[in-house]
Chain A
Amino acid sequence: KQEVTQIPAALSVPEGENLVLNCSFTDSAIYNLQWFRQDPGKGLTSLLLIQSSQREQTSGRLNASLDKSSGRSTLYIAASQPGDSATYLCAGSTSNQFYFGTGTSLTVIP
């Protein structure tokens, strides 16, 4: 069964720093890779989707990349802001199944 690991589990950075969140899979045969943001007590908000034919996606200050050969994805956040504080989850999919990591809790200190 696919297992997803996110490192680090928690991260605290000063405002303005660039940062990288990591996601790795035990089985590199994933189809799509999706990054989510979750605020406390809320549902998951989709940030970026990397489809099978793509290697990266960008949205504003966010950039996600996927290396299928190694089973790794990274989420890069540029010029972090306090409003970026949240838990970030990655999920890989194979057909109709989605496999989630346990998340990285990010705190951006003003």
Chain B
Amino acid sequence: DVKVTQSSRYLVKRTGEKVFLECVQDMDHENMFWYRQDPGLGLRLIYFSYDVKMKEKGDIPEGYSVSREKKERFSLILESASTNQTSMYLCASSSDNPLATTYNEQFFGPGTRLTVL
């Protein structure tokens, strides 16, 4: 079974702090994604990566950056946390191999509930 893990389930930070959220997948997936989920707004894509050291902006990249130094790990960085970044953060991965039975199927981690005070 695909497993996507996130470094923390709950995180409380102060305004201005630098915050790292880490995501690891164990299925050798090429694609990895970071979303945030807020009530009434659904899931919004922050960044995604289709290969090591590659990244693409999603719909709401402002205030965030990402790092993908290894295929299995995708990090989301809040350079200077603000209260409007309080949210649920969800990481996902998917396969780019058309021969895989799970081709283009997204698998999600358990989420990190971040509160910025």
Q: Does A91 contact B (CB under 8 A)?
A: yes
Partner of B113 from A34, A41, A89, A102 at Cβ < 8 Å: A41
- Secondary structure type dominating chain A contacts: strand
Partner of A103 from B42, B96, B110 at Cβ < 8 Å: B42
- Given A96-B50, A98-B33, A102-B42 in contact, is the A34-B105 Cβ separation under 8 Å? yes
CB nearest neighbor in A for B111: A43
CB of A40, distance to nearest CB on chain B (Å)? 11
Q: How many residues of B contact A (CB 8 A)?
A: 26
Residues of A within 8 A of B48 (CB): 96
User: A51–B111 contact, CB under 8 A?
Assistant: no
Contact string, B3-41, partner A, CB cutoff 8 A, digits 1/0?
010000000000000000000000000010100000011
- Given A96-B48, A96-B50, A102-B40 in contact, is the A49-B105 Cβ separation under 8 Å? yes
Q: Does B97 contact A (CB under 8 A)?
A: no
A-binding residues in B (CB < 8 A): 4, 31, 33, 40-43, 45, 48, 50, 88, 90, 92, 94, 96, 102-111, 113
Give me 22 A-to-B residue pairs in the complex whose CB atoms sit less than 8 angstroms apart, sorted by A's number: A42-B111, A43-B4, A43-B108, A43-B109, A44-B90, A44-B92, A44-B108, A46-B106, A49-B102, A49-B104, A51-B104, A91-B106, A93-B104, A93-B106, A96-B50, A96-B94, A96-B96, A97-B45, A98-B33, A100-B43, A101-B42, A102-B42
